[in-house]
A = this chain, B = another copy of it.
């Protein structure tokens, strides 16, 4: 859905992909072809549209909770609801550096993700984002790792570090503002990535996770996935040219995948 918010002449927009998955007493629909308790996925779509029109506001988390609770309350056979909201990021067009009231341009690659898992009396709220490309051109090395008969990688104390970052954090209690807290978490992750002298992706991941936990006391843990987007220095010696760590080839496959969860203890 795409929702337009109008405050006089100034419009804002929000574009969400919504996924709702239900679990509950649907056994007879599988085993006996009895559809009497089945909520058609088409009706689920209608519910999302009606609630988005009536209730969707600037923050995604309250809308996800509202959706999940609507399904739990309306249909007794539903025991567990999982709502995933994935937001495309739009920015305002600024002709002559002046923000335009109703025109927008697609923003950074990457999407904001909210995931709600609700059952009777219990809601889990997870916020985060996916597919954010980040890269640093120095302050990154990888040395002193296991060397055995399978090792050909050279040690280096100056390499390009690039990844397509995916992050999700779990709220232990509600913040005053989800969007402000999310924004400060993202800023802390990027700052840690930029400022940390990295001896490995693992270590940078841990620094970033710690920074997020320090920034937002409302979250209990954060998961980070950092696939190595390898940028390999090109050997130009066969052509009599020295590559002083200037030219790299970004390589998709094969790649390393580093993941980790940082929790309070």
State whether the Cβ of A157 lies closer than 8 Å to any Cβ in chain B: no
Q: Is the interface of A mostly helix, strand, loop or mixed?
A: mixed
Asked if A136 and B39 make an inter-chain contact with CB atoms under 8 angstroms apart, the answer reads: no
When distances are taken between beta carbons in the complex, the residues of chain B under 8 Å from A121 are none
* Nearest-Cβ distance from residue A256 to partner chain B, whole angstroms: 3
Taking CB atoms and an 8 Å cut-off, the chain A residues in 94-152 that contact chain B are: 95-96, 100, 102-110, 132-139, 142-146, 148-152
Asked if A41 and B228 make an inter-chain contact with CB atoms under 8 angstroms apart, the answer reads: yes
When distances are taken between beta carbons in the complex, the residues of chain B under 8 Å from A238 are 46, 152
Asked if B107 and A38 make an inter-chain contact with CB atoms under 8 angstroms apart, the answer reads: no
State whether the Cβ of A59 lies closer than 8 Å to any Cβ in chain B: no
Asked if B35 and A144 make an inter-chain contact with CB atoms under 8 angstroms apart, the answer reads: yes
* Nearest-Cβ distance from residue A207 to partner chain B, whole angstroms: 9
Taking CB atoms and an 8 Å cut-off, the chain A residues in 159-206 that contact chain B are: 160, 187, 190-191, 193-195, 199-200, 202-203, 205-206
Asked if B46 and A134 make an inter-chain contact with CB atoms under 8 angstroms apart, the answer reads: no
When distances are taken between beta carbons in the complex, the residues of chain B under 8 Å from A42 are 151-153, 256
State whether the Cβ of A231 lies closer than 8 Å to any Cβ in chain B: yes
Asked if B90 and A135 make an inter-chain contact with CB atoms under 8 angstroms apart, the answer reads: yes
Asked if B105 and A133 make an inter-chain contact with CB atoms under 8 angstroms apart, the answer reads: yes
Asked if A105 and B33 make an inter-chain contact with CB atoms under 8 angstroms apart, the answer reads: no
A95 partner, pick from B30, B110, B149, B195, beta carbons under 8 A: B195
Please measure, in the bound complex, the distance between the C-alpha atom of A153 and the C-alpha atom of B238, giving whole angstroms: 11
A93 in contact with B146 given A38-B202, A50-B239, A241-B54 (CB within 8 Å): no
The 6 sampled A-B contact pairs (Cβ below 8 Å) are A6-B246, A34-B144, A40-B142, A49-B247, A102-B136, A103-B135
